[in-house]
């Protein structure tokens, strides 16, 4: 039997329709969610991402402002802008597009964003809140992974989830979120001795290692849910995930394609975080 395809684009579109209704209702109460995005320099991929975020906000009626700063902007100037946005009532979310130029300390910048406005969920306090189970804004890609699993009708509680990859942006937070959903969680990484054996025990396999087609059907238990967070550019210009999609199609029970799987969910979760931050700022229950 062939796997069910988890259509991230469709699920993402559906959530955006729900969010749009929510923004309309908030606007009727004079609450306009606002997102500030800061882009330093001219990284081509970052420019595309920032443009997509701006467009998505417009489509939902979320106020957005993009601060495009030159590549030689000083860290002090960037921190000053963040401090200003932290104090600005019309702004509920602040996102500094990464990577930053080398002369700027990424940690200092992330730490400067007020935790209530940390729509990326990268601030140490947000990470701590997630870990101890307090309310917090969740990192977008990991939150998107959980939504995809839930909206595919797959129960997470009691399942064995194996996460391959331990980055601060995806691997670690996705593992924490799966744990919060009552999965039994194993984290594998480049130094894991028996990765294939562990992965093969997974009911839910999440792969975020940044290596094209590294995980094939040998790693997949028949019927498993396979979530591919990777987006890699192949020499022929095509995009491929970290999972060998074609090879896993027969073995997996559910699988995300690349593109059109996890990717579209990241901006959608950013929009969701911005709406949630606006509600919290106005004392409205999330
Ligand atoms: N660059 C690539 N992905 C991301 C992300 O999720 N957030 C930010 N701020 N920058 C990124």
pLDDT tens, 196-216?
Answer: 999 999 999 999 999 999 999
**Ligand 1 within 6 A of 64 CB?**
no
Residue for token digits 């906000």?
Answer: 57
Q: Give distance in angstroms: CA of 53 to centre of ligand 1.
A: 11
Q: How many percent of the chain have pLDDT more than 70?
A: 100
Pairwise CA distance, residues 82 & 147, whole Å = 30
The whole-number pLDDT of residue 11 equals 98
Give the domains, in start order, of the chain with CATH numbers: 30-118 (3.40.50.10860), 140-264 (3.40.50.720)
pLDDT, residue 255, reads 98
Share above pLDDT 90 across residues of the chain, in percent, rounded to a whole number: 99
Contact assessment for residue 208 and residue 167, using Cβ atoms and an 8 Å cutoff: yes
97, 142, 267: residue to mutate for ligand 1 pocket, most atoms within 8 A of CB? 97
| N-terminal to C-terminal alpha carbon distance within the chain | 40
Omega before residue 259 within 30° of 0, cis: yes
Q: How far is the CA of 146 from the centre of ligand 1 (A)?
A: 18
The number of residues in the chain equals 286
pLDDT band at 223 (very low <50, low <70, confident <90, very high): very high
Q: For 101-147, how does the pLDDT look when each residue is reduced to its tens digit (9 = 90+)?
A: 999 999 999 999 999 999 999 999 999 999 999 999 999 999 999 99
**41 CA to middle of ligand 1, Å?**
14
Burial of 238 (0-12, 13-18, 19+ CB in 10 A): exposed
pLDDT in tens, 141-159: 999 999 999 999 999 999 9
- What's this model's pTM, rounded to 2 decimal places? 0.97
Angle at the Cα of 136 from the Cα atoms of 33 and 281, rounded to 5 degrees: 35
Banded pLDDT at 286 (limits 50, 70, 90)? confident
Would you state the structure tokens that stand for residue 202, as one six-digit string?
Answer: 């997974």
């Amino acid at each position: 039997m062939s796997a069910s395809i988890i259509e991230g684009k469709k699920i993402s579109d559906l959530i955006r329709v729900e969010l749009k209704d929510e923004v309309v209702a908030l606007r009727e109460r004079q609450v306009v969610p606002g997102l500030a995005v800061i882009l330093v320099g001219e990284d081509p991929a970052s420019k595309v991402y920032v443009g997509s975020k701006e467009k998505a906000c417009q489509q939902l009626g979320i106020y957005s402002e993009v601060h495009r700063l030159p590549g030689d902007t000083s860290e002090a100037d960037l921190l000053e802008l963040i401090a200003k946005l932290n104090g600005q009532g019309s702004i509920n979310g602040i996102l500094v597009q990464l990577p930053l130029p080398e002369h700027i300390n990424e940690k200092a910048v992330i730490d400067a964003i007020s935790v209530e406005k940390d729509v990326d969920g990268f601030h140490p306090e947000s990470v701590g809140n997630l870990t101890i189970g307090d309310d917090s804004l969740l990192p977008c890609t990991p939150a998107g992974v959980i939504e995809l699993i839930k909206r595919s009708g797959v129960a997470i509680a009691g399942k064995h989830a194996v996460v391959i990859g331990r980055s601060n942006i995806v691997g670690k937070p996705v593992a924490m979120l799966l744990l919060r959903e009552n999965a039994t969680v194993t984290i594998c990484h480049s130094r894991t001795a028996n990765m294939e054996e562990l992965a093969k025990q997974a009911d839910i396999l999440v792969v975020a290692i940044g290596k094209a087609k590294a995980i094939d059907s040998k790693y997949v238990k028949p019927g498993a849910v396979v979530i591919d967070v990777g987006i890699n550019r192949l020499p022929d210009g095509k995009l491929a995930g970290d999972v060998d999609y074609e090879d896993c199609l027969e073995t997996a029970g559910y699988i995300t394609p690349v593109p059109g799987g996890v990717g579209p969910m990241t901006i959608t979760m950013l929009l969701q975080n911005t709406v949630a931050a606006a509600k919290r700022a106005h004392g409205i229950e999330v």
